[in-house]
Amino acid sequence: MRIDVLTLFPGVMEPFFAASIIARAQAAGVVSIHCTNIRASATDRHGSVDDRPFGGGPGMVMMCGPLFDAVERVEREDPRPATRIMLTPQGERFTQEIAGELAGLKRLLLICGHYEGFDERIREGLKPREISIGDYVLSGGEAAAMVVVDAVVRLLPGALGGEQSIEHESFSDGRLEYPHYTRPRDFRGLKVPEVLLSGDHDRIEKWRQSESDRRTRQRRPDLPGKPENA
CB of 2 to ligand 9D3, least distance (A): 21
Region from 60-68, 131-139, 184-192, 222-230 binding ligand 9D3, contact rule CB under 6 A? 131-139
User: Contacts with ligand 9D3 in 81-120 (CB under 6 A)?
Assistant: 87-89, 113, 116-117
**Distance between CA atoms of residues 100 and 155, nearest Å:** 7
**Distance between CA atoms of residues 103 and 106, nearest Å:** 8
Does 132 bind ligand 9D3 (CB under 6 A)? Our answer is yes
**Distance between CA atoms of residues 53 and 57, nearest Å:** 7
Name the residue among 97, 65, 75, 104 with its Cα closest to residue 4.
75
Among 47, 104, 134, 227, binds ligand 9D3 (CB under 6 A): 134
Among 76, 137, 182, 218, binds ligand 9D3 (CB under 6 A): 137
The shares of helix, strand and coil residues in the chain, as percent rounded to the nearest 5, are 40, 20, 40
Tell me the residue type at 68. Answer: F
Does 48 bind ligand 9D3 (CB under 6 A)? Our answer is no
Chain positions contacting ligand 9D3, by CB under 6 A = 87-89, 113, 116-117, 132-134, 136-141, 144
